[in-house]
């Protein structure tokens, strides 16, 4: 049944950089409205997994399925590549990514930053995109910063602009890669608040984070990645309250 088709499904994903095997068979599923958090030590493969999911990176084995549509591949193993550029574009624009370092364009105003991809990638009408961009900037609380340039904003404001930019693509899901890690503690919370709002609206999200409080509060499901494999996963209450894995308990005690 259509309503049970996951927005994104990753099955048995394997990814190597040369000799280095980073993902060794990972499965992740996010249904509509799910918030899935990915936690784990630095180097465990979290960013790689997100980048593979939206096809910014190639992977060598396993399936990536977007709304029931499996990515079509050509070649195999180290030569495996997506076969259909239109499919890649469709998936990438529907899984909007928010990065740790915001990645705003320094030479564009905040409004231009938010409008750029819907205009150039999706070819949507300018007046419609302008309206949507202002709406999303309002939503993240920086509607008054349309004409400012990124360098004039605090880190928290820049990250909120990056979230507005991702939302303006009207994606099926949002992928966050450590969205608060580059921020001073007092600015982190304004970004956490926005992410909590999005979660309560029923947005589908996969969030890589080392903010365990946020992961606890927003997630339906938490996945602990260890050296390219899922070591333990479950609802936040279980993962944070009654972890079975010694490694996960060690990881959690190191983060608090």
Q: Which residues bind ligand ADP (CB under 6 A)?
A: 17, 20, 22, 40, 42-48
45 vs 171, beta carbon nearer ligand ADP: 45
> 200, 199, 248: which is closest to 227 by C-alpha?
248
48 vs 113, beta carbon nearer ligand ADP: 48
- Residue 48 interacting partner from Mg ion, ligand ADP, none (CB closer than 5 to 8 Å by kind): ligand ADP
In the complex, the smallest distance separating the C-beta of residue 208 from ligand ADP, rounded to whole angstroms, is 7
8 Å CB contact between 226 and 25: no
- Residue 40 interacting partner from ligand ADP, Mg ion, none (CB closer than 5 to 8 Å by kind): ligand ADP
44 vs 157, beta carbon nearer ligand ADP: 44
Give the SS3 label for residue 244.
coil
Q: How far apart are the C-alpha atoms of 103 and 152, rounded to whole Å?
A: 15
In the complex, the smallest distance separating the C-beta of residue 23 from ligand ADP, rounded to whole angstroms, is 8
In the complex, the smallest distance separating the C-beta of residue 177 from ligand ADP, rounded to whole angstroms, is 7
179 vs 236, beta carbon nearer Mg ion: 179
Q: How far apart are the C-alpha atoms of 227 and 220, rounded to whole Å?
A: 23
In the complex, the smallest distance separating the C-beta of residue 22 from Mg ion, rounded to whole angstroms, is 11
Strands 173-177 and 221-226: unpaired
Classify burial at 58, counting beta carbons within 10 Å of its beta carbon; exposed 0-12, middle 13-18, buried 19 or more.
middle
Give CA 209 to chain center in angstroms. 10
- Residue 70 interacting partner from Mg ion, ligand ADP, none (CB closer than 5 to 8 Å by kind): none
Query: What burial letters (b/e) apply to 182-205, b meaning 16+ CB within 10 Å?
Result: bbeeebbebbbebbeebbeeebbb
Classify burial at 86, counting beta carbons within 10 Å of its beta carbon; exposed 0-12, middle 13-18, buried 19 or more.
exposed
In the complex, the smallest distance separating the C-beta of residue 176 from ligand ADP, rounded to whole angstroms, is 12
46 vs 160, beta carbon nearer ligand ADP: 46
- Residue 242 interacting partner from ligand ADP, Mg ion, none (CB closer than 5 to 8 Å by kind): none
Question: Using CB under 5 A, which residues numbered 22 to 51 contact Mg ion?
Answer: 47
What's the DSSP call for residue 72?
A: P
62 vs 179, beta carbon nearer Mg ion: 179
- Residue 17 interacting partner from ligand ADP, Mg ion, none (CB closer than 5 to 8 Å by kind): ligand ADP
> Site residues (CB under 5 A) for Mg ion?
47
């Amino acid at each position: 049944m259509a309503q049970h088709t996951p927005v994104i499904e990753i099955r048995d994903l394997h990814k190597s950089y040369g000799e280095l095997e980073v993902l060794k068979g990972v499965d992740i599923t996010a249904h509509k409205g799910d918030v899935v958090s990915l936690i784990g030590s630095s180097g465990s493969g979290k960013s790689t997994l997100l980048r593979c999911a939206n096809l910014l990176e190639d992977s060598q084995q396993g399936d990536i399925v977007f709304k029931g549509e499996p990515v079509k591949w050509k070649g195999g193993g180290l030569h495996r590549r997506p076969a259909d550029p239109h499919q890649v574009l469709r998936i990438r624009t529907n899984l909007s990514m928010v990065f740790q370092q915001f990645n705003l364009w320094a030479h564009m105003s905040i409004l231009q930053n938010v409008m750029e991809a819907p205009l150039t990638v999706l070819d949507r009408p300018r007046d419609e995109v302008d309206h949507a961009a202002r709406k999303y900037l309002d939503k993240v609380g920086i509607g008054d910063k349309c004409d400012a340039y990124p360098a004039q904003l605090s880190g928290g404001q820049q990250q909120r602009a990056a979230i507005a930019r991702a939302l303006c693509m009207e994606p099926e899901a949002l992928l966050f890669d450590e969205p608060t890690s580059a921020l001073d503690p007092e600015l982190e919370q304004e970004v956490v608040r926005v992410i909590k709002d999005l979660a309560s609206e029923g947005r589908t999200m996969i969030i890589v984070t080392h903010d365990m409080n946020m992961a606890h509060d927003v997630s339906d499901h938490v996945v602990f990645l260890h050296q390219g494999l899922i070591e333990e996963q479950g609802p936040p209450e279980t993962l944070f309250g009654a972890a079975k894995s010694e490694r996960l308990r060690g990881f959690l005690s190191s983060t608090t």
